[in-house]
Amino acid sequence: MAVLIPHAVRRASESVIEQPIAQLVKDGVSYRTILINSDTEMNHLMNHFGRRCKANFNACDYTYFWFRAKEGIVLAFAAPKPVAKFFDAYMILAAGKVQYTSGYKVLQAQASPIDFEKRVRKLWATRAAVRRMVRAYGGSRLNK
């Protein structure tokens, strides 16, 4: 009889968060950390937000990074205050009328950059194991 040996749990590398977190802290004035239900397609959610943002503002400047955690998807968002307020209203719409997500919970709103970075790093430590054919993290294009 064969004995099954469980595979080691693979997670995204620790270093993956370094560049996005530096960019978020640098670009933002207002910060949000949100826990989104894991059934959400993040590309659809954030592309739709981008289109709505451009329709309401001439130039929409924001940065985001998301990753899968054990409880759901963590979204770290940084933007100027008007865009951040628009994002708050958008998330209500996305969970309700548009239904890009079945639910979300605001973990942190309008935090200082230091508190924001600490919270995101703490949540990064709870990131979920990498699964086949499922993206584990993503976000805005970063400046090089």
- Average pLDDT on 90-104 reads 85
Q: What is the pTM of this model?
A: 0.84
Give the per-residue SS3 of 13-66: CHHHHHHHHHHHHHHCCEEEEEEECCCCCHHHHHHHHHHHHHHHCCCCCCEEEE
Domains recognised in the chain with CATH numbers: 16-138 (3.30.70)
**Residue 6 Cα to chain centre, angstroms:** 30
Provide, rounded to the nearest whole percent, the portion of the chain with pLDDT above 70. 89
Token couple for 94: 């996305």
Does residue 82 sit in helix, strand or coil?
Answer: helix
At 112-122, the pLDDT tens digits run: 899 999 999 99
pLDDT the model gives residue 35: 95
CB 100 within 8 A of CB 45: yes
94 exposure class (CB count in 10 Å sphere: 0-12, 13-18, 19+): buried
pLDDT, one tens digit per residue, over 35-71 is: 998 778 888 899 999 998 988 887 788 999 999 998 8
Mean pLDDT of 20-30: 86
User: Which residues, including other chains, have CB under 8 Å from residue 99's CB and lie 6 or more apart?
Assistant: none
pLDDT at 65: 94
pLDDT at 87: 93
pLDDT over threshold 50, residue 5 = no
Which backbone phi and psi does 137 adopt, to 5 degrees? Answer: -160, 165
To which H or E segment does residue 81 belong?
helix 81-95
Residue 93: helix, strand or coil by DSSP?
helix
